[in-house]
Amino acid sequence: MKLHWSPRSPFVRKVMIVAHERGLIDRLICVRTVAAMTTPHAELMRDNPLSKIPTLVLDDGRALYDSPVICEYLDALDGKPQLFPLDRKRRILALRRQALGDGFLDLLVLARNERLREQPSEVHLRSAAVRSTAVLDSLEREADALAASAFDIGHIAIGCALSYLDFRFAEEDWVKAIRVLLFGTPSSRRGPRSKRRCRWTILERAGNFLASPR
């Protein structure tokens, strides 16, 4: 299977984590693909008219996109899905958490693109900061439940969003404050975990599977 891939795409990272978790990484041929919003990629568009990554091309030539579809396909490839629960209640919860993580990523990617504009809109950037804080507040309220539940696609999506936040927005004052809130100091991570332990656990698990091909 061919995967249109980029090492810095958080949505590609979701797919790579699923592939590692399900023992499928050796079945992927990762093709480095630059998918810029301002420059449609002609070759990629043969497989995905949206010119977006990740895009997975199956052995029979069919193309799958975007990350939720690809992740669910890979998880069910052996007929025994593990990351997308079969139980209706657990499945809806996992999908809702995935939607939160993916939506947070969409928000962060748009905010980063806005920052790169010649004249960024402060209104849009302030809105992104407010909504990002609201997302993190929501995760804080759900911290214990996340830590107690089985690892699934929701944890993966949220972990990818949090790592992207730290990667692309580390210099922002509000992110520095949030990082202390989420993770504490290095010494605090070595001690007993607080109720915020779920975020560190998610990032540890996601961090074990960097978005790079073998």
Q: Is residue 81 part of a domain?
A: no
150 and 100 in a single domain? The answer is yes
Q: Is residue 82 part of a domain?
A: no
pLDDT at 148: 87
Q: Place 178 in a pLDDT band, splitting at 50, 70 and 90.
A: low
Burial class (CB in 10 A: 0-12, 13-18, 19+), 42: exposed
pLDDT at 115: 85
55 and 130 in a single domain? The answer is no
125 and 50 in a single domain? The answer is no
**Mean pLDDT, residues 77-106:** 96
User: Which single residue is written with the structure tokens 């806005």?
Assistant: 114
pTM of the model: 0.81
**Range with the poorest average pLDDT among 28-42, 53-67, 123-137, 194-208:** 194-208
Domain count, the chain: 2
**CATH number, residue 100:** 1.20.1050.10
Rounded CA gap, 86 and 59, in Å? Answer: 26
Q: Is the pLDDT of residue 117 over 50?
A: yes
Q: Looking at 50, 75, 100, which one is the last position of a domain?
A: 75
pLDDT at 36: 84
**CATH number, residue 34:** 3.40.30.10
Report the percent of the chain where pLDDT is more than 90: 53
pLDDT at 140: 84
Q: Is residue 159 part of a domain?
A: yes
53 and 120 in a single domain? The answer is no
Domain that holds residue 29: 2-75
pLDDT at 146: 87
Segment 145-160, tens digit of pLDDT: 888 889 999 999 998 9
104 and 199 in a single domain? The answer is yes
